[in-house]
Amino acid sequence: MFQKVMASFGQGGATVDARLLDRLVLPGGTLHGEVILQGGQVDQEIESLAVTLLARVEQGSEETTADLPFQNVQLAGRELVRAGAQIKVPFEVQMPWETPVTTVFGKYLTGMAVGLQTNLNLARTVVDPQDVDAIPIEPVPAQHRILDALTRIGCQFRDANLVKNRIDGVDQQLPFFQEINFAPSQAFGNVFNGVTVSFLARPRDVQVVLDVAKRVRVLKGGGLGTRSQSRLGTFVVEYAAMGRPNWEQQIEGWLREVAKPRAIFD
């Protein structure tokens, strides 16, 4: 009886451990893995077993963070796990096309937290076992190309974050989007505080959103102050025609156009 009581509080009860079988995954791809379900000291009834994609996003004006689920796969329903038994449950998770990127050439992006949470719901327990594993998510080739173009024109990566919001004027499926932040190149260092790129991938193309923080004049005839205004630019990269345009020229041309003064305080 004592063992049953302790198992209800998570001590000596069943445990779960997810193992990712893929070295990496791309947005729109399939993540393969298996859940190792280890029985505890007593027989226990499972109500459900599931894996969930979680993303740590900023929300609200105070930029508080929350772990937001954006994909869920049920693996098992009601059944009994015997004491001491070990069960392997394979799984596949279809990654949404707008899944944020967490690594580039295997190097994790500072500020990103996207993981796979395994949830084991046990009957008559106070604490349900959970397991969270970070997922290495590489850019699709078109995203790689744009990131490479930004680097080639002199922009330097700063960090990345996820924002719970929507971008005007684009087709967005998830309730959040990723910002990959760069310091501007030397040519634009006196005009822009930063350059941010967001990707909204789809099966045939990716929508690219560039957001620059442009410094503004604080007084008529004065210099550029510390205040800035956001300027957005959007374009589409088709996978089939990804290599044809000179993206360095296109991005730098857009930056030069935005950098031009248009008004007294701009």
Give the pLDDT score at 92.
97
Same domain, 15 and 124: yes
Domain count, the chain: 2
pLDDT tens by residue, 38-55: 888 888 888 989 999 999
Angle (deg, nearest 10), helices 247-259 and 141-152: 60
Domain end, chosen from 78, 99, 134, is at 134
Same domain, 205 and 109: no
Residue 91 lies in a domain: yes
What domain range is 73 assigned to? 2-134
Residue 53 lies in a domain: yes
Average pLDDT of the chain, as a whole number: 88
pLDDT over threshold 80, residue 6: no
Same domain, 165 and 255: yes
Same domain, 29 and 117: yes
User: Which CATH number fits the domain that encloses residue 61?
Assistant: 2.60.40.640
Domain end, chosen from 134, 157, 191, is at 134
pLDDT tens by residue, 136-183: 999 999 999 999 999 999 999 999 999 999 999 899 999 999 999 999
CB of 160 within 8 A of CB of 109? yes
Give the pLDDT score at 216.
80
Higher-confidence position of 12 and 215: 215
Give the pLDDT score at 9.
35
Q: How confident is the model at residue 225 (pLDDT cuts 50, 70, 90)?
A: low
Q: How confident is the model at residue 94 (pLDDT cuts 50, 70, 90)?
A: very high
Give the pLDDT score at 149.
96
Q: How confident is the model at residue 3 (pLDDT cuts 50, 70, 90)?
A: very low
Residue 265 lies in a domain: no
Residue 264 lies in a domain: no
Same domain, 123 and 196: no
Residue 128 lies in a domain: yes
Same domain, 229 and 145: yes
Q: How confident is the model at residue 69 (pLDDT cuts 50, 70, 90)?
A: very high
Same domain, 89 and 39: yes
Same domain, 197 and 95: no
pLDDT over threshold 50, residue 218: yes
Residue 82 lies in a domain: yes
SS (H, E, C) the chain: CHHHHHHHCCCCCCEEEEEECCCCECCCCEEEEEEEEECCCCCEEEEEEEEEEEEEEEECCCCEEEEEEEEEEEEECCEEECCCCEEEEEEEEECCCCCCCCEECCEECCCCCEEEEEEEEECCCCCCCEEEEECCECCCHHHHHHHHHHHHCCCEEEEEEEECCCCCCCCCCCCCEEEEEEECCHHHCCCEEEEEEEEEECCCEEEEEEEEEEEEECCCCCCEEEEEEEEEEEEEEEHHHCCCCCHHHHHHHHHHHHHCCCCCCC
Distance CA 87, CA 12 (A): 17
Distance CA 7, CA 167 (A): 47
Quote the percentage of the chain above a pLDDT of 90. 66
Residue 223 lies in a domain: yes
Same domain, 178 and 96: no
Residue 266 lies in a domain: no
pLDDT tens by residue, 104-144: 999 999 999 999 999 998 875 645 567 899 999 999 999 99
Give the pLDDT score at 155.
97
pLDDT over threshold 50, residue 88: yes
Give the pLDDT score at 263.
60
Please state which of the ranges 22-26, 78-82, 164-168 shows the lowest mean pLDDT.
78-82
Same domain, 94 and 164: no
44, amino acid identity: Q
Please state which of the ranges 26-35, 82-91, 150-159 shows the lowest mean pLDDT.
82-91
Same domain, 109 and 152: no
Same domain, 79 and 147: no
Domain end, chosen from 134, 167, 191, is at 134
